[in-house]
Structure 1
Amino acid sequence: MTAIGKTPPLLEVEELNVTFPTPHGAVDVVRDLGFTLEPGGSLGIVGESGSGKSMTSLAIMGLLPPRATMSGRVRLAGRELSGLTDRQLRRVRGDRIAMVFQDPLSSLNPYYTVGAQIEEAYRAHRQRVTRRQARRVAVEAMERVHIADAARRVDHYPHQFSGGMRQRVMIAMALCTEPDLLIADEPTTALDVTVQAQILRLLTEVRQETGAGLVLITHDLAVVSEMTEEVLVMRAGACVERASAERLFSDPRHPYTRALLDAVPRLDDEVGELRTVRGRGPSPAAGATEGDER
């Protein structure tokens, strides 16, 4: 708990567990996870597919599938979120906490213009806002993420935008309510390298302008080294290492973290050489062990 008079962390996660029923019994896809994020701070969550990264973000947002069960605590600026009703969570979600998903094409409704969708997100959290005011906010949000000719493009449909531009629309939608916390779940998936760099620069710019905290979920170690101050490494639903980005990349302590860093291609590698993490990743049912990557 936060000491009296001390500003609480922006985000506190304590003993978070997410469990799914299976024919072979209950499986913890996230287990005993805990971390904090200070106001304006940035945290990268890295790990291979199936490590529990996205389930962690969905648990924070209160968007877990109905069959999943969750235990533990999630607090935003000292306010407990894990016990809120769906109606109460909707007031927080999209307002105080916003999320950028990895696939904007499936997140955007193809039957509505992007402007209408940004307007809807804004009006859902702002009372007594006219359509004209909401439209102005939508145009300003699109200009903020550097979409050219936003006043015209606000009336375009998702299929009329490229993948990178659709992701910009998603970021604009997330920013329109000025959230305190932005969660970006693999925001550069399926984008080419140049567009990836543009989106990452945009997220950095947004943080600097708004002071929002950032949780960046990715499997790309190079991204977290540039984008975040702290890094949390996950495997089989558990945190195997957490450290400042500087320390993690200069002095990784866990064998799995070292194996991940060794697998990053280098310019001095011999032609045809490809380092990999040997062995198979454990299933969440098995848990992560210190030597299983060897």
Structure 2
Amino acid sequence: MSLASTGTKRRAATGALTVRDLTVSFPTATGSVDVVSHLDLDLQPGGALGIVGESGSGKSLTSLAIMGLLPPKATRAGTVMLGTDQLTSMSEAQLRRVRGDRVAMIFQDPLSSLNPYYTVGAQIEEAYRSHRRGVTRRKAHQVAVEAMERVHIKDAARRVDHYPHQFSGGMRQRVMIAMALATEPELLIADEPTTALDVTVQAQILALLQEIRRETGTSLILITHDLAVVSEVTDHIVVMRSGVCVERGPVEAIFSDPQHPYTQGLLDAVPRIDDVIGDLRSLSPTGDHR
């Protein structure tokens, strides 16, 4: 079943995401340290942006800053606009209405993100009802089943009453995506959504994200350390190092003609099918070839 075949009316993306001069700082014994520094981002409605960098580059903190979910000690400067709404000037109550509704997030570890004591259906229903006041439990249950069908979980009407431990890692990630989609967000932020999955399941999740974007018009930010992942899903790439954007551009340009040595290093780290494999004897501590 395709995402469009469920019959649920989708809310079209109504505004671009514009981030200007975003800076995230933490206090230290020797003064404030910028972990994200003067970052600009642009994402048009329905577009897909990849934010790439190694661990500690500031890419996940960037997503938390956009969502207004930074740790208490962190400070944020700059502006984040979704359409004509400035998220950085909203109160916490206003942000709660935006988070999970207009902007939804998928985290890299679905096992720790799902509550083991509640069925997956109950958790999707709770996320939906928190943003749709007055919705009946019956309607919320229907939405949960439809959301699971959208992400191709078979026999969703039965599995909606299952607990997280009854799903594989890939299926739990699909449940997290279903939960994010239930409120028909304008922007979906996926933070390392395939890190804990094997290669085959990674490919399935990436294909699903492509399908979601194509059939619903939801904008996507994909955060990853893996350039091979963003090449499958996104249109533009921002490469981050130590909290700073070192390169940006269309996917084709970044892959065919990277300008920054750090970007080239990331590309060189991507395994290629035509890479030359060294002498197999080097794999043995004794050098024996058997």
Q: Which runs of 4+ in 1 moved over 6 A?
A: none
Matched AA of 2:270: V
Aligned-CA RMSD value = 1.4
Return the TM-score normalized by structure 2.
0.90
Question: Do 2:14 and 2:186's aligned partners in 1 also have CA atoms closer than 8 Å?
Answer: no
Instruction: Decide which structure has greater helix share.
Output: 2
Q: Which residue of 2 aligns with 1:165?
A: 171
Q: 1:101 aligns with which of 100, 107, 121?
A: 107
Q: In terms of mean alpha carbon deviation, does 229-238 or 21-30 score higher?
A: 21-30
Report 1:129-278 matches (<5 A): 129-272=135-278
- Distance (Å, rounded) in 1 between the aligned partners of 2:273 and 2:139: 52
Q: Which residue of 2 aligns with 1:41?
A: 47
Gaps of 5+ in 2: 1-12, 280-290
How far has the Cα of 1:81 moved from its partner?
0.4
Return the TM-score normalized by structure 1.
0.88
Gaps of 5+ in 1: 1-6, 274-294
Q: Does 1:60 align with 2:66?
A: yes
Matched AA of 1:214: L
Report 1:64-79 matches (<5 A): 64-79=70-85
Matched AA of 2:131: H
Q: 1:119 aligns with which of 99, 120, 125?
A: 125
Question: Number of paired residues?
Answer: 267
- Distance (Å, rounded) in 2 between the aligned partners of 1:8 and 1:78: 9
Helix, strand or coil at the partner of 2:32: strand
- Distance (Å, rounded) in 1 between the aligned partners of 2:35 and 2:89: 20
How far has the Cα of 1:268 moved from its partner?
2.9
Q: Which residue of 2 aligns with 1:276?
A: none
- Distance (Å, rounded) in 1 between the aligned partners of 2:14 and 2:143: 31
Q: Which residue of 2 aligns with 1:14?
A: 20
Q: In terms of mean alpha carbon deviation, does 196-205 or 252-261 score higher?
A: 252-261
How far has the Cα of 1:22 moved from its partner?
2.1
- Distance (Å, rounded) in 1 between the aligned partners of 2:248 and 2:201: 29
How far has the Cα of 1:143 moved from its partner?
0.7
